[in-house]
């Protein structure tokens, strides 16, 4: 798979550059609030300087939700009866359940057990567990370690704070020629996991950098939000604007591993975002896997909800919940690759180029134009196979003022970008006219 | 298959109770008019006391048809040359062609033959034959008996009357909260056959008794009519009312034998009755057989005719014309079972509960509600598989004010009644609102 | 396959008669202009005397095209260094590239080569090559001959003229009861080839003769035009009339060989012409091959273009470009057969009879009529299988005033002409009414 839009070459990141950002962000402890999110956004803003950071105070309402207290953590350990540190947050961010309240206590193994999380079926992985809205504490560890714990008295210590503060999100609006928007949304709330979720913000960052370097029909709204509460906060602040401006939106997630591409459609399944994605995936990876919206699990849950009803989809590789490393310590930097990140960036570039290129052409001529006059058709006839010189004729045949290039591409198999270049050429010759065809 | 609507348990008949009614009605000689119909309706009215009986005089017009003279019969015999009673109506109601005119004559076997009906391919069955509108007489007998008839003079005697009288039908309207109606129609014109047709009126009777004991959104119109002429008479008296009130209708027929369920759609195939039936059958018996409307053969022929155009379907077991016992003496009480009658009752109960439960929900919240606040979602996250805790989220995701529970059930696989219970719960929490969504 | 419209028998040509016309036209040298077209139309007008010939002067604009100078040719030869006539137009019309300019020159084989056309992969066939709009000259020959050419000086002589004149087309309008039209279009520009293209004008000619002998609802517009430029000229003169009158149109081409029937749909694929063709082909040749509009290649390119948007399709046998003899000297009279021509005529007759017979019936009776009153249903019941006596009941069941006989035929499997005969009968009985249902 290669990028066939020549104009896309400039400013497009390499896989190594993308992977380096993932490495730099990996060890930061993120949650839905706290310093980890701010630190992450600051690093991202080194690459896309226009990124603005927004702080939303604890207690702010977002529809049915409320921004919770801010959580931060310094250290956390479990010391066993022999004085050994059997679990230490310093070794892995996943060792502490996100939003664990502070504790400093001695207790028996039996008392400790209800606060331990492990995966009996995957005994060497540390699970990722959160408790954002119920005050509790917990440690996550491999099941192998858990089973080796001896009876006796344990010292449990979590040095964390949960107190009024704010939720942080990042936003970058890259204006285009037209007020219609394409929304790109990624999560910045996952600690120390690579595919879900550093691949999303990493690809989004470099997609944003590339967009800023390109001529643009569309205005691009790029947001980095904590999952669920962040998306809802953002929706609550911008709902009317988004509903009246967003032509297509994408949740970028799980796009760093080596698996084939897969697709999560919108709730209705027929939005412009669905059409753009299916067209590009059909071309790049025929027979790509399309999930059911019933298998959704990221912020399309909020964006596609009935009263928001935004046209939002996801192009992923291994989908959340569908790979064994998901939400465990094995979703680490070895699970993602520079090449996969780069390909994912390129797929999204293709999708955005399709959106930028799409238009609704209308032929100006009754019948076929006399193409050989324009050097567009062989002058010597009789042995010409129509289906071999067909792109020009096919484009003209479907340029009825009602069919956009996406659909012409669906029907003819010709690439959208190729069709757009040809549209420009035929328009310059006066053989057709077109308009962009925004969707709001 | 079990009934999962707990509220349905009260008042629902047992299979034995249903079978006992079939036994009680079996020996009555019914036709499209006559005392047999009245006697049948009288017995049914012991179970559903509100049933009213209507007498429609001979000569009454019903669209292109006219109510015929009333037919009654006392005795009928064929005595052979040796004085043996080779055919005796006292032995089986099927022995006489329905609407046979009276006769008392001596004739040769050759003269008799054109008036005999038998089934050469099924030599041990007495066929069911009628001649409602052409004055004639006839006897039906096994082909084996017919072939044993000796040459000589036969004495043929039918003590019947065909004279002005009336056509009788039964009607029970069980009012509900709303004037929109569901129509249930069964035939009471078949003599001494069990699946076609005592199963239909038997299941209809106990469905009516159960309905009368339940809270009801819908008004139920339940009719017991002679096939074709009775349905047309009823249509001619109530056409406008039916067209403006009936949301869904069902012809109950052939639902007593042990075969799997099958489905006869309406003429257009997309009415509310079709949707209700397909939803319930898809759940109870995936891959159920759906016939083509070209294979129709009961009163949907009248109800679905273009100028009536009512939304009427049938859920059957072995469809008429499709089982070898059909319209013969072998369609007897041994061909139907208590268990099959009860299951058929339960399937129709499911269909009606689906109609009663169906509604069009609309979420009141932008985004997903904060379900863990209401105890509807685990408070500890990270290891939750969306698709395993999905009914609440799925219902909310499709509660867009345009999609009814039937369609949400189609799309999500969740049961309609489960969805309705959850709808009530979420509405009580203020998370959605809904309206019933009647169809006329 | 036989023609089941009894009224069609009179006036329908035999295959031998059709083949004889092909033989008579075969040796004439046709191009998009010139005496060959006129001579061809004159012979056709012996069979359909009403055919009018129209001359369109050189230089006339037709949308993006201009009628070129007229081309005529007397002789053309290549004489080899030894004085042998290695290529002689007198032997085969295909030997000269159509629209070759005059030349009389000596040249080396090397100089000659760029003007020679042959088929290396099919070394025994003379290809068909044209250069209508680029002034050039050329010879076509078998590759075997070409490879045998010796080095030395060749004498090349083409005695042709390209000068102002006119383009000629033929037109016959056969008026019917109604101003709505069916368009039949065939090409008269191909020299000395049989399937593509003499089969088209030959079948069209005899279809026109038959139409003139029949009672007609529709007005038929039959045109014989040079491909592309002729169709465009015709469109440019009649566009508005055609758009407001043509219900269905057919390009008759490639219908003389022995292959099975195939189908080229219109651009949108759902016009009345598509529906008529698919219905007839489904009946006559279930599983017939339907091409994609992407594989188009005849005058539907013009008729179906977006700003013309006429409902035009083709029923063919071996489609252009799809058989090895296409556009070579092997597409000769041995490639077509009298039987195939006759069957093609009959298929088009069936399509036109379907159009003539089609109507939108509306029952006048609520419920089913009492068919036995009219002798349309057995008087003795009980053993009647609805699906075996179904045509009358099926027709009535779908006579809802919105469904035409084509669709009723699609849904029931009954033949359109049978349905129409029954419609007439039921209408005479007062059981239904109907209107023709023209499409413009």
Q: Report the C-alpha gap between B283 and B409 in whole angstroms.
A: 10
Q: Is a pLDDT exceeding 70 seen at residue C2?
A: no
Residues in chain B closer than 8 A to C390 (CB atoms): 294
Token pair, residue A118, equals: 């492990």
* Nearest C-alpha in A relative to B373: A133
Q: Which of residues 371-390 of C touch B (CB under 8 A)?
A: 372-373, 379-383, 385-387, 390
User: Is the CB of residue A369 less than 8 Å away from at least one CB of chain C?
Assistant: yes
Cα dihedral C295→C300→C306→C310 (10° resolution): -140
Pairing of strands B70-79, B85-88: antiparallel
* Nearest CA distance, A395 vs chain C (angstrom): 10
Question: pLDDT digits over A213-259, tens only?
Answer: 999 999 999 999 999 999 999 999 999 999 999 999 999 999 999 99
Determine whether the interchain pair C397/B129 forms a contact, defined as Cβ–Cβ distance below 8 Å: no
Q: C70-163 architecture in CATH?
A: 3-Layer(bba) Sandwich (3.50)
Mean pLDDT over A54-60 rounds to: 98
The answer to whether A248 and A183 are in contact (CB under 8 A) is yes
Lowest average pLDDT, out of A417-431, B31-45, B373-387, C233-247, goes to B373-387
C-alpha triplet A427, A429, A434: angle, nearest 5°? 10
Sign of CA dihedral A24, A27, A29, A34: negative
Element (H, E) at A187: strand A181-187
Q: Report the C-alpha gap between B129 and C382 in whole angstroms.
A: 5
Quick one: pLDDT at residue B360? 97
Long-range pairs, C140-146, Cβ under 8 A, ≥24 = C140/C94, C140/C95, C140/C96, C140/C97, C140/C116, C141/C86, C141/C87, C141/C95, C141/C116, C141/C117, C142/C118, C142/C329, C143/C118, C143/C119, C145/C86, C145/C87, C145/C118, C146/C116, C146/C118
- Could you tell me how far CA C434 lies from the centroid of its own chain? 32
Q: Which of residues 105-134 of C touch A (CB under 8 A)?
A: 117, 127-134
Q: Which of B237, B305, B331 would best serve as a mutation to test chain C binding (most C beta carbons within 10 A)? A: B305
Partners of B98 in the β-ladder = B130
Q: Report the C-alpha gap between C184 and C251 in whole angstroms.
A: 6
Question: pLDDT digits over B81-130, tens only?
Answer: 999 999 999 999 999 999 999 999 999 999 999 999 999 999 999 999 99
User: Is the CB of residue A412 less than 8 Å away from at least one CB of chain C?
Assistant: yes
CATH code for the structural domain at A71-163: 3.50.30.90
Mean pLDDT over C150-156 rounds to: 96
Residues in chain A closer than 8 A to C305 (CB atoms): 363, 365-368, 396-397
Name the residue with higher pLDDT: C7 or A213.
A213
Pairing of strands A181-187, A166-174: unpaired
Residues in chain B closer than 8 A to C381 (CB atoms): 129-132
* Nearest C-alpha in A relative to B431: A64
Q: Is a pLDDT exceeding 50 seen at residue B8?
A: no
Same fold, C70-163 and C360-435: no
Question: pLDDT digits over C270-319, tens only?
Answer: 999 999 999 999 999 999 999 999 999 999 999 999 999 999 999 999 99
Determine whether the interchain pair B309/C400 forms a contact, defined as Cβ–Cβ distance below 8 Å: yes
Determine whether the interchain pair A393/C301 forms a contact, defined as Cβ–Cβ distance below 8 Å: yes
Question: Residue A238: what are its φ and ψ, rounded to 5°?
Answer: -130, 15
The answer to whether A131 and A98 are in contact (CB under 8 A) is yes
Element (H, E) at C73: strand C70-79
Quick one: pLDDT at residue B376? 87
Fold of B360-435: Arc Repressor Mutant, subunit A (1.10.10)
Residues in chain A closer than 8 A to C306 (CB atoms): 362-363, 396-401
The answer to whether C306 and A395 are in contact (CB under 8 A) is no
Question: pLDDT digits over A282-298, tens only?
Answer: 999 999 999 999 999 99
Say which residue the tokens 């006292």 belong to: B90
Using alpha carbons only, how large is chain C's radius of gyration in Å? Answer: 25
Domain A6-67+166-357 has CATH 3.40.630.10: yes
Lowest average pLDDT, out of A382-391, A427-436, B364-373, C416-425, goes to A382-391
Determine whether the interchain pair C383/B127 forms a contact, defined as Cβ–Cβ distance below 8 Å: yes
Lowest average pLDDT, out of A379-383, A391-395, C99-103, goes to A379-383
User: Is the CB of residue A370 less than 8 Å away from at least one CB of chain C?
Assistant: yes
Pairing of strands A139-140, A116-117: parallel
Token pair, residue A433, equals: 């006219």
Determine whether the interchain pair A397/C267 forms a contact, defined as Cβ–Cβ distance below 8 Å: yes
3-state SS assignment for residue A314? strand
* Nearest C-alpha in B relative to A94: B382
Quick one: pLDDT at residue A439? 81
Question: pLDDT digits over B331-357, tens only?
Answer: 999 999 999 999 999 999 999 999 999
Nearest to A366 among C138, C228, C239 (CB): C239
User: Is the CB of residue C327 less than 8 Å away from at least one CB of chain A?
Assistant: yes
Quick one: pLDDT at residue A440? 72
Q: Is a pLDDT exceeding 80 seen at residue C331?
A: yes
- First vs last Cα of chain A: how many Å apart? 32
User: ipTM above 0.90?
Assistant: yes
Partners of A223 in the β-ladder = A171, A185
Residues in chain B closer than 8 A to A128 (CB atoms): 382-383
User: Is the CB of residue B412 less than 8 Å away from at least one CB of chain A?
Assistant: yes
Q: Report the C-alpha gap between C22 and C321 in whole angstroms.
A: 21
The answer to whether A108 and A151 are in contact (CB under 8 A) is yes
Residues in chain A closer than 8 A to B382 (CB atoms): 98, 127-130, 327
Quick one: pLDDT at residue C1? 33
User: Is the CB of residue A236 less than 8 Å away from at least one CB of chain B?
Assistant: yes
Residues in chain A closer than 8 A to C270 (CB atoms): none
Residues in chain A closer than 8 A to B429 (CB atoms): none
Q: Which residues, at least 6 apart from A139, have a Cβ–Cβ distance to it below 8 Å? A: A76, A78, A87, A95, A96, A97, A100, A115, A116, A117, A156
User: Is the CB of residue A270 less than 8 Å away from at least one CB of chain B?
Assistant: no
3-state SS assignment for residue A148? helix
Furthest-apart CA atoms within chain A: distance in Å: 94
Q: Is a pLDDT exceeding 60 seen at residue B4?
A: no
Which chains have 3+ CB pairs within 8 A of B? Answer: A, C
Whole-structure pTM over 0.95, yes or no?
no
Q: Is a pLDDT exceeding 90 seen at residue B386?
A: no
Quick one: pLDDT at residue A10? 55
- As a whole-number percent, the residues of chain B with pLDDT over 90 amount to 92
Quick one: pLDDT at residue A2? 37
Mean pLDDT of chain C: 94
Q: Is a pLDDT exceeding 90 seen at residue A385?
A: no
Give 3-state DSSP helix, strand, coil % of chain B, rounded to 5.
Answer: 35, 25, 40
Determine whether the interchain pair B129/C382 forms a contact, defined as Cβ–Cβ distance below 8 Å: yes
Question: How crowded is the C-beta side of C100, counted as CA atoms within 13 Å?
Answer: 29
- As a whole-number percent, the residues of chain A with pLDDT over 70 amount to 96
Question: pLDDT digits over C365-382, tens only?
Answer: 999 999 989 988 877 777
Q: How confident is the model at residue A8 (pLDDT cuts 50, 70, 90)?
A: very low
* Nearest C-alpha in B relative to A306: B400
Long-range pairs, B38-43, Cβ under 8 A, ≥24 = B38/B168, B40/B188, B40/B201, B40/B224, B41/B168, B41/B169, B41/B170, B41/B188, B41/B224
Mean pLDDT over A394-420 rounds to: 96
The residue extents of the domains of chain B are: 6-67+166-357, 70-162, 360-435
Q: B70-162 architecture in CATH?
A: 3-Layer(bba) Sandwich (3.50)
- As a whole-number percent, the residues of chain C with pLDDT over 90 amount to 92
Determine whether the interchain pair C327/A369 forms a contact, defined as Cβ–Cβ distance below 8 Å: no
Q: Which residues, at least 6 apart from A297, have a Cβ–Cβ distance to it below 8 Å? A: A319, A320, A321, B386, B387
Element (H, E) at B146: helix B143-148
Determine whether the interchain pair B63/C390 forms a contact, defined as Cβ–Cβ distance below 8 Å: no
Q: Is a pLDDT exceeding 90 seen at residue A192?
A: yes
The answer to whether C319 and C259 are in contact (CB under 8 A) is no
Q: Report the C-alpha gap between B206 and B218 in whole angstroms.
A: 17
Q: Is a pLDDT exceeding 70 seen at residue B389?
A: no
Q: Report the C-alpha gap between C440 and C434 in whole angstroms.
A: 18
């Amino acid at each position: 798979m290669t990028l066939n839009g020549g104009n896309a070459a400039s400013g497009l990141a390499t896989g190594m550059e993308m992977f380096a950002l993932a490495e730099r962000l990996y060890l930061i402890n993120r949650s839905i609030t706290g310093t980890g999110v701010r630190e992450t956004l600051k690093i991202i803003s080194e690459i896309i300087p226009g990124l603005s950071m927004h702080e939303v105070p604890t207690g702010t309402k977002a529809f049915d939700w409320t921004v919770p207290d801010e959580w931060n953590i310094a250290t956390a350990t479990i010391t066993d009866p022999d004085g050994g540190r059997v679990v230490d947050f310093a070794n892995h961010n996943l060792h502490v359940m996100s939003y664990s309240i502070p504790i400093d206590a001695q207790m028996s193994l039996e008392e400790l057990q209800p606060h331990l999380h492990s995966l009996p079926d995957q005994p060497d992985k540390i699970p990722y567990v959160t408790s954002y809205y119920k005050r509790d504490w917990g440690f996550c560890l491999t099941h192998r370690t858990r089973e080796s714990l001896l009876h006796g008295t344990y010292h449990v210590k979590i040095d964390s704070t949960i107190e009024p503060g704010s939720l942080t999100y990042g936003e970058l609006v890259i204006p285009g020629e037209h007020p219609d928007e394409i929304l790109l949304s990624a999560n910045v709330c996952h600690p120390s996991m690579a595919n879900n979720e550093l691949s999303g913000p990493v690809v989004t960052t470099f997609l944003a950098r590339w967009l800023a370097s390109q001529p643009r029909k569309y205005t691009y709204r790029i947001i980095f939000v904590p999952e669920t509460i962040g998306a809802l906060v953002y929706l609550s602040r911008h709902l009317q604007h988004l509903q009246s401006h967003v032509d297509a939106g994408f949740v970028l997630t799980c796009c760093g591993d080596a698996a084939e591409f897969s697709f999560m459609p919108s709730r209705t399944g027929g939005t412009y975002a669905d059409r753009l994605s299916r067209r590009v995936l059909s071309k790049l990876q025929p027979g790509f896997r399309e999930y059911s919206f019933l298998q959704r699990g990221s912020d399309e849950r909020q964006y596609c909800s009935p009263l928001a009803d935004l046209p939002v989809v996801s192009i992923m590789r291994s989908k959340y919940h569908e790979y064994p490393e998901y939400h465990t310590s094995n979703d680490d930097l070895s699970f993602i690759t520079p090449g996969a990140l780069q390909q994912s960036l390129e797929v999204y570039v293709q999708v955005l180029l399709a959106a930028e290129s799409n238009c609704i052409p209308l032929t100006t001529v009754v019948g076929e134009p006399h193409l050989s006059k324009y050097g567009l058709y062989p002058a010597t006839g009789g042995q010409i196979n129509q289906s071999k010189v067909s792109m020009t004729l096919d484009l003209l045949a479907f340029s009825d003022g009602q069919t956009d290039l996406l659909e012409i591409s669906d029907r003819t198999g010709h690439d959208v970008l190729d069709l757009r270049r040809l549209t420009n050429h035929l328009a310059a010759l006066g053989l057709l006219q077109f308009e962009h065809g925004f969707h709001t």
